[in-house]
């Protein structure tokens, strides 16, 4: 299985976490109409994570739609032995950037808000992050997911290069 590709959510035991709920008011002739948008992350804590956005007239319906969208967007994330990512990466989305940097055992998840929710749902336990640029949840979530999708498993990468096991240990 290639990393960073979609996976079927039906056979995974996923837990959902609401990252952000946004209330939007539309002014019409008779007053204001309110709707709600929810950003939801789902993950199994073992390398699979997805993010979705749902919008509806009521909060529970927006969360349900966001969860449904997130289950369609499942991505596999490579996690190396000590619960971190294989290499440093910068994810970009619109004007937001997120730096994801591997960390040693015992470091924990050094991240804030939306980035922490995504990384914990993916099952990453040791990582350093820095959000650069826009700090809106939509941009930070998009940048984090972009960074996670750019990651590849080192063994899979070496295999694609055609290296044997002896060459890998050099």
* One domain, residues 66 and 87: no
The answer, yes or no, to whether residue 2 has pLDDT greater than 60, is no
* One domain, residues 67 and 20: yes
To the nearest whole percent, how much of the chain has pLDDT over 90? 78
Domain end point (choices 24, 49, 75):
75
- How high is the pLDDT of residue 87? 92
pLDDT, tens only, 68-104: 999 999 999 999 988 999 999 999 999 999 999 999 9
Q: What is the CATH number of the domain that holds 103?
A: 3.30.230.10
Q: Count up the domains in the chain and report the number.
A: 2
- The pTM score is 0.87
* One domain, residues 143 and 92: yes
- How high is the pLDDT of residue 105? 94
Residue 132, CA distances (Å) to 9, 50, 77, 118, 143 in order: 31, 22, 22, 17, 10
Average per-residue pLDDT in the chain? 90
Handedness of CA 40, 92, 100, 158 (dihedral sign): positive
- How high is the pLDDT of residue 169? 55
- Angle at CA 82, nearest 5°, toward 91 and 163? 75
The parent domain of residue 53 ranges over: 15-75
């Amino acid at each position: 299985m290639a990393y960073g590709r979609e996976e079927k959510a039906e056979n995974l035991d996923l837990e959902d976490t609401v990252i952000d709920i946004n209330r939007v008011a539309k002014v019409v002739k008779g007053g204001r109409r309110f709707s709600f948008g929810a950003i939801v992350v789902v993950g199994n804590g073992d390398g699979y994570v997805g993010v979705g956005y749902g919008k509806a007239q009521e909060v529970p319906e927006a969360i349900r739609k966001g969860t449904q969208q997130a289950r369609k967007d499942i991505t596999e994330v490579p996690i190396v032995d000590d619960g971190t990512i294989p290499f440093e990466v910068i994810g970009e989305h619109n004007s937001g950037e997120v730096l994801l940097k591997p960390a040693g055992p015992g470091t924990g998840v050094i991240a804030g808000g939306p980035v922490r929710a995504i990384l914990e749902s993916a099952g990453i336990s040791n990582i350093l992050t820095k959000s650069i640029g826009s700090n809106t949840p939509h941009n930070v979530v998009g940048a984090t997911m972009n960074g996670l999708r750019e990651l590849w498993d080192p063994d899979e990468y070496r295999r694609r290069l055609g290296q044997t096991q002896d060459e890998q240990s050099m």
